[in-house]
């Protein structure tokens, strides 16, 4: 049976039994996504992983405000295109802060890897397991 995908995340997995990852317990994630259904599903999936959603934003301005009001962000999941607005000002600020970035896009710019080396790209649609794998890798990185 084919599983329904909404905005790139597997709907049936998002509602399944909790899949906590010990490395992610308490891990603080900023979510920047302009599609409300995708954003809500990401929040649910992150909670199932054991993460804490440090903030949710749907635009560059909202994201910058979330960053300014947050004492701790361990990683950020960033949709590259927010209703025609590019995520780059947010990604640049988070990069300067040393926050690992996970870009989530269906059509990211070709130079994304060169512009933000050492970060991650998940092409939509992706499975929650792919997101968990990336976040666990980030969580296990030694602190600089």
**Domains along the chain with CATH numbers:** 5-139 (3.40.50.2300)
Tokens found for residue 98: 């040393």
Selection from 48, 42, 46, 47 nearest residue 18 by Cα: 48
Task: Read off the pLDDT of each residue in 22-50 and give the average, rounded to a whole number.
Answer: 96
Entry pTM: 0.85
Q: Which pLDDT does position 71 carry in this prediction? A: 82
Query: In sequence order, what are the residues at sequence separation of 6 or more whose Cβ sits closer than 8 angstroms to the Cβ of residue 45?
Result: 9, 13, 14, 128, 131
Q: Which pLDDT does position 101 carry in this prediction? A: 97
Band of pLDDT at residue 19, cut at 50, 70 and 90? low
- The three-state secondary structure class of 58 is coil
């Amino acid at each position: 049976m084919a599983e329904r995908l909404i905005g790139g995340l597997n709907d049936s997995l998002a509602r399944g039994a909790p899949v906590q990852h010990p490395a992610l317990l308490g891990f603080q994630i900023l979510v920047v996504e302009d599609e409300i259904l995708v954003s809500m599903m990401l929040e649910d999936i992150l909670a199932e992983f054991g993460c804490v959603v440090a903030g949710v934003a749907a635009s560059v301005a909202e994201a910058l405000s979330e960053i300014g009001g947050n004492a701790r962000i361990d990683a950020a999941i960033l949709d590259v295109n927010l209703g025609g607005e590019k995520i780059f000002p947010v990604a640049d600020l988070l990069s300067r802060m040393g926050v690992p970035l996970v870009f989530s896009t269906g059509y990211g710019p070709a130079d994304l890897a060169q512009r933000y080396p050492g970060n991650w790209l998940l092409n939509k649609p992706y499975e929650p397991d792919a997101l968990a794998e990336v976040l666990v890798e980030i969580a296990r990185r030694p602190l600089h």
